[in-house]
Amino acid sequence: MKLRLLRPRELAQGLRGLARRRPRDAEEYLGSHPEQWASLVEADPHDAADILEALEDEAAAGLLGGLDAETAADILEEMQDEAAADILEELHHEVAADILEELPADEAADILGEVEPGARRALLGRMAGDKAEEILELLAYPPDSAGGLMSTEATTLPAALSAGEAIEALRRLHEHVEHLSYVYVVDPDHRLLGVVSFRELVFARPGTALEEVMVADPVAVRPETDREEVADLIQRYNLLAVPVVDHRGGLLGMVTIDDVIEEVRREATEDIATMVGAGRGETIYTTVAHSVRSRLPWTAVNLGTALLVAVVVSQFEPIISRLAVLAAYMPVVASVGGNSGAQSQAVVIRSMALDSIPAHWVRRVMLRSGLIGLFNGIAIGTLSGAIAALFTQQARIGLVVALAALCNLVVANLVGSGIPIILDRLGKDPALASNIFMTMITDTVGMGGFLAIATGLL
């Protein structure tokens, strides 16, 4: 198999596609063309990371382990945490520990959080004591908190310096500084006093004291602050980073905007998963056992709700036996209700994520949902009823379908909006299996209501 691609970018695109379609061929090519792998790695660690994620863990570990620790760390930093952890576990512990030591502590903690506990302890035991201790401190925080997101490599300067002295100090620190959007001003006890943007520092007169340039009492969060609140603060105040402080005001680190963007994206995908009862943190890299454990309870709940619908329908056996054609229209009524409810649910959950539903707006939200259900119900009910009457040549069956669709659409819109609001008021995630409960209610009301109306009119 040959890839006649000369430029690293073209080579990366070709190998990325090949690795996803035929990973063994990509593995063989890279193994027999080490110079191509070297040029690809040197050009962009992002592309190298994408290719390694598509390969088998053992093959990816072989390619990564052949690089120097610093280069391997650059690639590992661009990978999904779960994929990076799987590859690390395939490497010798000494090699893996060397790579982890080259990573920023927050990145290393994120990856080690996905490693099996036994392997994690072994890797930490082979790392330098100060780096291992720093990582352990970060691992102690919940992953969805400011402490779990923060980097401990915040740039700090004492308040006694002038602007000119501060710039000179930053020149000496530049090789050790990862983010230089802000400089945090601290007192001798490392308590946060203020923040100075790099731009303000550059344009300040050299003799101006930092205390005169800094913004005193800046926006800050505690390590236990939820990631959504951190994201909200960064967006509200248009920040590039937010400092993390302890109970006495001591600076622990900072959460940068790129960390927040990554977490917000992850939060959005997790909400989609939880709406249907999948594991909150589940990805394609999650083990089968973990996925089964996280999905099984909600699958069992779904079974229970389906059985409830079956019990409701069974109560109308006489009318179904007499008019078997009714069975053909029950899924229609349930389906239009479920779809409409899902639309309302998505709008409400999105609004909650954007923090745009004040408490006094709840009634207005519910009234709006009810009216949408009513107007859509009239339109869909009329259309579905006309089609049913045409197919069955029975106007009464058409009327039953129309009324049932109307009722179910109204209920579905109210339920779709109401369930996330109720969960939020209870302090739960609004996306928590909302779709399962909504489907249960719309199916029960849709089919039960349809058969109840049929019993009354037919």
Based on the domain organization, do 415 and 324 belong to the same domain?
yes
Based on the domain organization, do 28 and 140 belong to the same domain?
yes
Domain final position from 144, 170, 202: 144
pLDDT tens readout for residues 376-423 = 999 999 999 999 999 888 899 999 999 999 999 999 999 999 988 888
**What's the mean pLDDT when you consider all of the chain?**
85
The sign one gets for the Cα dihedral 228, 230, 234, 237 is positive
pLDDT tens readout for residues 25-71 = 888 888 888 888 888 888 788 888 988 988 888 989 999 998 999 99
Based on the domain organization, do 176 and 126 belong to the same domain?
no
**270, part of any domain:** no
The sign one gets for the Cα dihedral 237, 242, 246, 249 is negative
Based on the domain organization, do 84 and 113 belong to the same domain?
yes
Q: Indicate whether this model's pTM tops 0.85.
A: no
Domain final position from 144, 167, 185: 144
Based on the domain organization, do 126 and 160 belong to the same domain?
no
Based on the domain organization, do 13 and 110 belong to the same domain?
yes
C-alpha distances in Å from residue 66, one per residue of 44, 62, 70: 17, 6, 12
Based on the domain organization, do 307 and 404 belong to the same domain?
yes
Based on the domain organization, do 67 and 98 belong to the same domain?
yes
Could you give the CA distance from residue 319 to residue 327 in angstroms, rounded to a whole number? 10
Please, what's the b/e burial string for 33-46 (b: 16 or more CB within 10 A of its CB; e: otherwise)?
beebbeebbeebbe
Domain that holds residue 83: 8-144
Instruction: Quote the crossing angle between the two packed helices 45-54 and 81-90, to the nearest 10°.
Output: 70
140: domain CATH number is 1.25.60.10
Could you give the CA distance from residue 366 to residue 344 in angstroms, rounded to a whole number? 10
Joined together, the tokens standing for residue 213 give 């340039």
* Closest to 71 measured CA to CA, from 55, 52, 57: 52
- What is the percent of the chain where pLDDT is above 90? 34
Based on the domain organization, do 378 and 407 belong to the same domain?
yes
Instruction: Quote the crossing angle between the two packed helices 434-457 and 326-353, to the nearest 10°.
Output: 140
Domain final position from 144, 172, 188: 144
Is beta strand 156-158 parallel, antiparallel or unpaired with respect to 182-186?
parallel
pLDDT value, residue 315? 84
Q: Do 385 and 398 meet the contact criterion of CB atoms below 8 Å apart?
A: yes
Per DSSP (E only), the strands in 281-327 are none
**328, part of any domain:** yes
Based on the domain organization, do 125 and 251 belong to the same domain?
no
**48, part of any domain:** yes
**282, part of any domain:** no
Joined together, the tokens standing for residue 211 give 């205390």
Give the torsion through C-alpha atoms of 188, 190, 192, 194, to 10 deg: 50
123 has pLDDT over 90: yes
- What's the order of all strands across the beta sheet hosting 156-158? 156-158, 182-186, 192-197, 215-216
271 has pLDDT over 70: no
User: 161: burial class by Cβ within 10 Å (0-12, 13-18, 19+)?
Assistant: middle
Q: Is 179 helix (H, G, I), strand (E, B) or coil?
A: coil
pLDDT value, residue 188? 92
Give me the DSSP letters along 61-102: HHHHHTS-HHHHHHHHHTS-HHHHHHHHHHS-HHHHHHHHHH
DSSP H stretches of helix in 103-174: 105-112, 117-125, 129-139, 146-149, 163-173
pLDDT value, residue 273? 63
313: domain CATH number is 1.10.357.20
Domain count, the chain: 3
**305, part of any domain:** yes
pLDDT tens readout for residues 275-331 = 665 656 666 666 677 777 877 887 787 788 778 878 888 888 788 777 778 888 888
Based on the domain organization, do 440 and 293 belong to the same domain?
yes
**90, part of any domain:** yes
pLDDT value, residue 5? 44
pLDDT value, residue 178? 64
C-alpha distances in Å from residue 385, one per residue of 86, 305, 313: 56, 27, 21
Residue linked to tokens 């899924």: 331
Joined together, the tokens standing for residue 383 give 């259309």
**279, part of any domain:** no
pLDDT value, residue 146? 92
Based on the domain organization, do 361 and 328 belong to the same domain?
yes
Give me the DSSP letters along 190-203: -BEEEEEEHHHHHH
Could you give the CA distance from residue 167 to residue 207 in angstroms, rounded to a whole number? 11
pLDDT tens readout for residues 144-161 = 899 999 988 888 999 889
**106, part of any domain:** yes
Contacts of 146 by beta carbon, 8 Å cutoff, 6+ apart: 221, 222, 223, 224, 225, 226, 227, 230, 242, 244, 255
168: domain CATH number is 3.10.580.10
- Residue 440 forms beta bridges with which residues? none
